[in-house]
Amino acid sequence: MVINLQEPYSLPITFLNRLKECDCYFERELFLENVREIPTVSRLIKDINDYCSENMVVGFHYTRAIPEDILAQGLLVRSGEQIRAEFISRFGYLFSIEEIEAIKAAWARYFDIRMTRARDNRIFFNFTTDALNNGGAKPLLRNFGGEQVYFCIDELPSIGEKIASIGQPLIVKCAISPNDVQTYLEHPWGSIVTSAYHRTVNPDAHQTDQDGWQAVPVSPEQIELVS
């Protein structure tokens, strides 16, 4: 089973009944953090998290890419050096020699050991589409190739318009195993779906989401493109 964490009503009825019992807490608070320490809520979040961990969840990968590439290859695990070399190989013809030199120099300065360790061989996800509303997805959808390409070069003279002209903005909806994903929240899956339910009770409530990443490729069969 694949669980879309921003659609709480797809949960089994037993969880929905337990969520309904917590409406009195959700109605008066805007942040899940303000109620998650209540024993009834904390147990529920953990139980939902355990259920999600035994299934698959939807991860949203925001990018600007060539749709046919993703449909044929899925999402690949690669180093930044590989990604940037392929970018120059495929699209270097769009840039002058001077522009390519400027791009490579900017990359060399920016992608140091620390940045390489933080980004290489990782596929990043959000678990709701809230980033479409708060602006978080905008640079990823505007600039081709993801942060491994556009970070530090999109504001170079004449470069930004060119990398924004390649490919098309895509939301890559992936069915992934929670056990493959590294996250930063305690009981992340239970927290996100409970927060989504919270918003059905209190529309002004904040949606909990997070960045997560995995070092496992996503096959084409696990992908739906949402443009």
**To which H or E segment does residue 175 belong?**
strand 168-176
Residue 31, number of CB atoms within 10 A of its CB: 12
For residue 179, give every residue at least 6 positions away whose Cβ sits within 8 Å of its Cβ, in sequence order, or none: 53
pLDDT for the residue 157: 86
Q: Which residues of the chain have pLDDT under 70?
A: 227
CA nearest neighbour of 219 among 180, 189, 184: 180
Provide the 3-class DSSP secondary structure of residue 188. helix
For residue 81, the enclosing domain spans 2-226
pLDDT for the residue 79: 96
Torsion region of 74: left, alpha or beta (phi above 0 gives left; psi -120 to 50 gives alpha): left
Can you give the pTM of this predicted structure? Answer: 0.94
pLDDT for the residue 167: 96
Q: How many domains does the chain have?
A: 1
pLDDT for the residue 226: 87
